[in-house]
Structure 1
Amino acid sequence: MSSLYLPAAPAPWTLRGRGWLALYRLRPAGVGALLLVRYAASPVGPYDELMWVDAPVATPVGGRPSIRRIVVSTAASVTWGRRNWAIPKARATFDWSVPGQVRVTGAGGEPYAHLTFRRAGPALPVNAEWLPRAWRTVAQPALDGGPEWQLTTIGGAAHAFPARLTVLHAAGLAPELPARRPLLGVGFSGVRLHFPIPALWPEPGPRPQGEPGA
């Protein structure tokens, strides 16, 4: 579908849904996070999402988490995720027909990922503001390869519970994951996330005299 016919959905966004997270150790000082989310409500409607986040990533403002790979189930989420926050979203198909499992297929029909998930304990309320600001500020480089970065400090709340998110196949995401044991598995219900208008680095400044628009 052409972006001409997609609903306009500029930032900020508030999203609601549920999801699962598995945290992996990648190197002595770094971690990777696998997140599987089903959004029941967003400015572009319901959609599914699977992403890989590295942290910390070296950025001009210091070490920050950064979304490295991500697929979603709708064209509107792809378009506005890229426009609003420079998130490198791509389209995929999510098959939830088997309870406790999801199969993700790439846009070309290739197997992308196969995951299982299950709850393993009671839920407790959590809030993103309990984390240091730097840990929840996602830093994304410009998608066109330019020097700009977009910095998005995420807020929100949910109920969290022990869970297992197991990777059976992840050729399109991180092929080594099935052989790795996660450090931590968490599930989330009643998720309410807030994605604000991002801050830009470097901050836009006045144009030098003589440039168009000065």
Structure 2
Amino acid sequence: MGTRNTDSTVFPKGKHFPAPWNLKGEGFLFPLWAKKDYNREMGFFSGEDSKQYTGGLGSLMLVNYETSDVGPYYELLYIPGNFTYKDESYKRITRIFVSSQKSVEEGILNWAIPKEKADFTWIREENLTKISAFRNGKEFFRVTIATKGFSFPVSTKILPYTLLQKATEGYLSTQFVGKGKGRIATIREIWSDEAVFPDALKGGIFKTGIHSDPFELIFPVADVID
């Protein structure tokens, strides 16, 4: 059972946590086959994003990092599909919230991931998980997910994701590596305030995905792409 996260971890002033990061916990991944018109309009794209966007496979992810280089935190993120840069295809996170301010700062610094701070509830009741996200005390996202069936191995080798995120100068490219045990997950109910986070159903997600518990994830040092 999870409660509203208040981000009480205290770090020495100015301390930096460089990549690579090692993270462990549980998470949900729901694949997306892009509805391009909706995502261009409501996916929190920059002008550059819109020009580079080609659609295709993306995902909605919800993660409970029980351990990380900056302590435990929750995460909600949206990848609306593929983006092309210099004839190469990449994934890109266009909207992401985490419950740790340090994760916000380090995510931007290490990988140019545009993290923002939010509070979360993450409540597990037998085979159901109920997750909500709040900003300034106002709920902007909630989902109820059912998990069922036998467990099976999962790995990023099956579905490799290479991110390309816009940095202050150029781009940062990151291919994270992960593995864990998965079960089938199904969305029972989902809602979002589209002024804050995309409506993932309108954006193209499938209601069936994977619940990985436990998983291990490595976020390596990013490559600089001119």
**Shorter-chain TM-score tier:** 0.7 to 0.9
Distance 1:167 1:53 in 2: 20
Q: Specify the code of the residue in structure 2 equivalent to 1:173.
A: F
Q: Which amino acid aligns with 1:128?
A: T
* Residue of structure 1 equivalent to 2:130: 101
1:22 equivalent in alignment to 2:22: no
Q: Where in structure 2 are there 5+ consecutive unaligned residues?
A: 1-7, 37-54
State the identity %.
Answer: 28
Q: Say whether the 8 Å CA contact 1:86–1:150 is kept in structure 2.
A: yes
Inter-CA distance 81–187: structure 2 relative to 1 (3 Å threshold): same
User: Tell me, what secondary structure is at the counterpart of 2:94?
Assistant: strand
Q: How far off is 1:157 after superposition?
A: 0.7
After TM superposition, the structure 1 stretch with the greater mean CA deviation from structure 2, 183-192 or 164-173, is: 164-173
Structure 1 CA distance for aligned equivalents of residues 150 and 179 of structure 2:
16
2:32 and 2:203 in contact (8 A); partners too: no
Which residue number corresponds to residue 162 of structure 2? 137
How far did 1:160 drift? Answer: 1.4
- 1:68 counterpart residue number: 94
The structure 2 residue matched to 1:152, chosen from 174, 183, 190, is: 174
Query: Cα gap change, 1:104/1:33 in structure 2, threshold over 3 Å: closer, same or farther?
Result: same
What does residue 112 of structure 1 align with?
A: 140
Does 2:192 align with 1:170? yes
Return the alpha-carbon distance in structure 1 between the equivalents of residues 130 and 13 of structure 2.
Answer: 32
Q: 1:130 to 1:39 in 2, by over 3 A?
A: same
CA contact (8 A) 1:20 1:36 kept: yes
Please say which of residues 182-191 and 68-77 is displaced more in the overlay.
Answer: 182-191
SS in 1 for 2:19: coil
Aligned to 2:115: 89
Aligned pairs, number:
195
Q: 1:6 to 1:177 in 2, by over 3 A?
A: farther
Contact 1:170–1:177 under 8 Å retained in 2? no
What per-residue deviation string (whole Å, max 9, x for no partner) do you get for residues 170-201 of structure 1?
11221363796616411101210010000111
From the superposition, tell whether residues 24 and 71 of structure 1 become closer, same or farther in structure 2 (CA, over 3 Å). Answer: same
1:45 aligns with 2:67: no
- State the Cα distance separating 1:13 from its structure 2 match: 0.4
CA separation of 1:124 and 1:199: change in aligned 2, threshold 3 A: same
Compared with structure 1, are the counterparts of its residues 181 and 86 closer, same or farther at alpha carbon in structure 2 (3 Å cutoff)? closer
TM-score normalised by structure 2 residue count: 0.77
How many Å separate the matches in 2 of 1:179 and 1:150?
A: 25
Bigger CA drift: 172-181 or 53-62? 172-181
Q: Distance in 2 between matches of 1:198 and 1:179?
A: 28
Q: Give, as a single letter, the amino acid of the residue that structure 2 aligns with 1:197.
A: V
1:84 is paired with a residue whose SS is helix
Contact 1:101 1:117 in 2 (8 A): yes
> How far off is 1:7 after superposition?
4.4
Residue aligning to 2:219? 195
Q: Does residue 124 of structure 1 match 2:146? A: no
- Is 1:125–1:160's contact at 8 Å kept on the other side of the alignment? yes
Query: CA, structure 1 residues 168+73, in 2 after alignment: closer, same or farther (shift >3 Å)?
Result: same
* Residues 80 and 94, structure 2, Cα contact 8 Å, conserved in 1: yes
Aligned-residue CA RMSD in angstroms?
Answer: 2.5
Q: Normalized against structure 1, the TM-score is what?
A: 0.81
